[in-house]
Amino acid sequence: PEIDVADWKASTVYTDGLVPESDVVMWFWAIVEGMDQAEQAVVLHFVTGSSRAPADGFTQLMGYGGNHARFTIGMAAAGHPNRLPAAATCFNK
């Protein structure tokens, strides 16, 4: 199945002061949208633990223990400019 990036974006939750219009958020989505399906699947696997989108859309992402856990973009370790991207796959972050 194809990864629907528009659905992924629309279903994303933003925390730590980020909003869809934040520079880092717009950069993230621009990069993901520029990827082919195989590359998008790698990113999806990195952030969720699965390379496949949920059959019923991204609002149905499951987290640890089978609970719904929407994909979330937040600022981890703010103030550490050299920190590499991190993911918490059990919570879709």
Choose the catalytic residue: 10, 90, 91, 92.
Answer: 90
90 is catalytic: yes
Task: Using alpha carbons, select from 70, 41, 73 the residue that is nearest to residue 58.
Answer: 70
Q: Give burial (CB, 10 Å; 0-12/13-18/19+) of 78.
A: exposed
Give dist(CA 93, CA 77) in Å, integer: 13
* Cβ-contact 73, 23 below 8 angstroms: no
Q: What residues are labeled active site? A: 90
